[in-house]
Amino acid sequence: MYSAYHANAMKHLVYLFKEEYEFPRKFNQSIYNYEVEDRFLINWQGLLDEYDPLKEGWLPTICVVKEKWAKAYMNKVFSAGMRRT
């Protein structure tokens, strides 16, 4: 199951999805596997450091609204299994 953020990421980060073998796995892991905020933030920072070292791309901009798509934040809100897109 992919969110609209995942589809949007594929559009904005096509070069990473095509050229960086590990990026899709790491990106999905960041969104869906961390249920604790601190662990999510550490992992997300690692993703930024590795794939966007200048912190000027699309990845930092979506982190501003992380509460709407990251599993670590969705656990606090009843959403009937739906994500806001």
Does 77 have pLDDT greater than 90? no
Rounded distance between C-alpha atoms, residue 61 and residue 1, angstroms: 23
What is the domain extent for residue 47? Answer: 4-74
* 79 assigned to some structural domain: no
What pLDDT sits at residue 82?
58
* 9 assigned to some structural domain: yes
What is the number of domains present in the chain? 1
* 80 assigned to some structural domain: no
Query: What pLDDT band is residue 85 in, cutting at 50, 70 and 90?
Result: very low
* 84 assigned to some structural domain: no
pTM of the predicted model as reported, rounded to 2 decimal places? 0.75
Q: What length does the chain have?
A: 85
Alpha helices in 1-85 (DSSP H): 4-12, 14-19, 23-32, 37-51, 58-63, 71-74
Those residues whose C-beta lies under 8 Å from the C-beta of residue 83, and which sit 6 or more positions away, are: 3, 4, 5, 68, 69, 74
Q: Give the whole-number percent of the chain exceeding pLDDT 70.
A: 80
Rounded distance between C-alpha atoms, residue 14 and residue 64, angstroms: 21
* Tens digit of each residue's pLDDT (9 = 90 or more) over 31-72: 888 888 999 999 999 999 998 877 778 888 888 888 888 888
